[in-house]
Structure 1
């Protein structure tokens, strides 16, 4: 059911309708790269994706997997480096006329009223003032903002401001509504309420759009809303790791066993486990003793293949202690739900424990190793000693420590390491990795860092471990 918002239809509306299941958007071999020290650094590679009428597609992945980049390529806001994006079978050469975007931030013009903000898209399409005011009022009423037409953004709560963003997107009746983490800036209760109201509209047939593409970092949100979840991997660049069909009837019951199983399945995919839930194949996969040292760990890891997760020592230490209090083993999805954490909060800590050899993932569970158990129970000095031994197995930390050549007072500029990392990572990724490496190396007593000089130094013996 489409809204009779205005007599002069939007460009997407004049095209023949696409039946449910018909293709609205598709990508073939989509690659997106940005400039790096050695040329182009790929962010997305080989993306084949189809968005069909009548479905909600969730793009789910860790931070840095290219979710938002893919969304902007679908909207025609970013051109692909190679491959194609097609809307209704026609390759895009600019902004996609059949899409509208809702941002994570509210992106409202503060000097305009609610009605004027909602009218912006219609004004850009040349809709006469009286018609666009009528259309805006209908969209405002639909999204639950009736009575606030003449209010300014500063008078509205965060949830109400995001409603304005939804109304502004829906009023142009796009074929595909694109949402880039639209609930992440809201408090939990407001997000839950707005999410529920949107799903009620979608299920009622009153939603003035044929499909939805949702970028999210919340696994439960994806299972709750989507008909299909596209999980993106991020190492070394964004690819489609797996697509999960969600066959649960709406409204979906978060407490059902089927819902829990889907959440667990997506967690297994996000942590790199195969569909059957067994740990991924490793050179030492046949061993049964989790305390045996992984002798090939250092040899298999390089700067290019081992990006540091954004995890502080305090954060991963806290997670290790929580697991230790649960007899050294916990279900990832249950722990995340108990702590109220999303994947961007939880998985970097999990990755850090795994990278340091303090924990391993088996199926749905995170298990502490012998070293991890010792780390969780150690006092401060023993904890630093254990951490130092583990951190030297991490390529970037080891590189910084070795570059100081074992001479007290030696110094190496941070720019040297930035240049090395620039061959493999974007500037933003480099910032995050050096921040993590600095935190880990300082805690371990392997080196110090002078922020003013932007250089790493080997600490004098009395300031070390």
Structure 2
């Protein structure tokens, strides 16, 4: 099968030429989500796409699926302009996206039914796909009777049954536990190598760097705000790959370095951190940030660590580790460079401080380096009663961001600000207030 893949690798399946996508903010300003994206997927290759929050990965995937249209550039599928959903493109979602009232068999048949395939043929092909993905005997089961891994198998079978030229996988393994995700990933590779699935090309959107290196022939890395292709990494190792092989580990390190470099943040982001309230704060949990800093400053790391090694020691996924490390860097408690994280002198002081002093230091760094937190604090101090509604802040954020991203950003800022005790939040009323002592 590998030889056949190599032979087919010159045939484009889908091409994106100078693709761009914008959204209209609440103040009627156009803001680019994607800009100048050029990407080609060829027959016989698996491509993985990585990028930070704000890189537009999901938007780009939906453009390729024909679910949304680009605002600039063109998309060609099989040398023809892509206009709406195409029969030769199938998608597997992170959330499984099954109809709960339909059986496994009925869920898998849906794509064939939409294509007008006759009932008997639908049943035969669906049964074959269910068997191929390892769910034989569960044809009549409802989704609620299945584990998460089994539900995702149904989602994969529903995509495979149409024998698509292009299979799009949107973080398809991230909702599963580690062991189940690895098992399903390995089975997908086995299906691909065997040729039984009759897929021409696969695009995997992922936040898991090791997963990308283990599966893909090529890794595409997007920058953020707006999303652009900023790097491509060829993965030349034959599959199946050994994650402990020195060459594989070195490539994982290289991708970590690319993902955490300043260029990955895009041309606008680094400069905006201290001055624009719409700066996309990483989705980082404070307890994870503190755990990483504590681990970093203890043996065996003693202040500096290789990110993949730190992830293993901390038991965190890349989706947890990278945002927490970015937050530590934003607050100047650590620095990221070439795939390594190093604690700063301030980070060491934080590590050595008592709980109350940690909160004071955290709050001070928020006011210095997080524009949204400083903005909320200023608005509270200017308010006669020392309080403002979260809806006011959301309206301001929607001048920069989509509503759902504005809400996510405010949620992060509230959690960080409450911990740093620079403001309080009343969940019942949705009001931000000055902390008790400051209000008095």
- Normalising by structure 1, report the TM-score: 0.85
SS at match of 1:197: helix
Say what the alpha-carbon RMSD is for the aligned residues.
2.5
- Shift of the alpha carbon at 1:112? 2.9
Shift of 1:46: 1.5
**What is the match of residue 426 of structure 2?**
450
Query: Is residue 301 of structure 1 aligned with residue 290 of structure 2?
Result: no
Q: Within 5 A, what are the aligned runs for 1:374-453?
A: 374-393=349-368, 394-405=370-381, 409-453=385-429
Task: Give distance in 1, aligned partners of 2:31 and 2:243.
Answer: 40
Structure with bigger gyration radius: 1
Deviations along 1:336-370, whole A, 9 cap, x unmatched? Answer: 12333222211111111111111111322111111
1:157 matched to 2:147? The reply is yes
Tell me the residue number matched to 2:4: none
Picking from 23, 35, 38, the partner of 2:24 is: 35
With over 3 angstroms needed to count, the CA separation of the structure-2 counterparts of 1:371 and 1:211, relative to structure 1, is: same
Distance 1:450 1:116 in 2: 46
> What displacement does 1:462 show?
7.0
Shift of 1:313: 3.0
3-state DSSP of counterpart to 2:381:
coil
Distance in 2 of aligned mates of 1:273 and 1:298: 10
> What is the distance in 2 between the residues matched to 1:74 and 1:453?
42
Say whether residues 1:356 and 2:331 are aligned partners.
yes
Equivalent pair of 2:278/2:400 in contact (CA under 8 Å): no
Q: Distance in 2 between matches of 1:274 and 1:43?
A: 17
1:312 to 278, 285, 306: 285
2:279 is aligned with 1:324: no
2:175 corresponds to: 185
Q: 1:47 matched to which residue of 2?
A: 37
Structure 2 counterparts to residues 141-290 of structure 1, below 5 A? 141-234=131-224, 236-272=225-261
Distance 1:462 1:151 in 2: 58
Secondary structure at the residue paired with 1:337?
A: helix
1:284 corresponding residue in structure 2? none
3-state SS of 1:45 partner: strand
Q: CA deviation at 1:390?
A: 1.2
Question: How far apart are residue 133 of structure 1 and its match?
Answer: 1.7
Q: How much does 1:458 deviate?
A: 2.5
Distance 1:438 1:71 in 2: 31
SS at match of 2:107: helix
2:437 is aligned with 1:461: yes
CA distance in structure 2 between the aligned counterparts of 1:245 and 1:186, rounded to whole angstroms: 27
Cα displacement string for residues 273-318 of structure 1 (whole angstroms, at most 9, x for unaligned residues)? 579xxxx99xxxxxxxxxxxxxxx9997211673322223333222
Partner of 1:131: 121
Count of aligned residue pairs for this structure pair? 428
In structure 2, the gaps of 5 or more residues are: 2-6
Counterparts of 1:298 and 1:200, CA distance in 2: 45
1:338 aligns with 2:310: no
Cα deviation digits, residues 168-194 of structure 1 (max 9, x gap): 211111111111111122222222111
Structure 2 residue 110 is the aligned partner of structure 1 residue 110 = no
Pick one of 70, 77, 80 that aligns with 1:87. Answer: 77
Gaps of 5+ in 1: 2-17, 282-296
Q: How many Å apart are 1:157 and its aligned residue? A: 2.6
| Cα pair distance change 1:374/1:406, threshold 3 Å | farther
Which stretch shows the higher mean deviation, 404-413 or 372-381? 404-413
TM-score, structure 2 length as denominator?
0.90
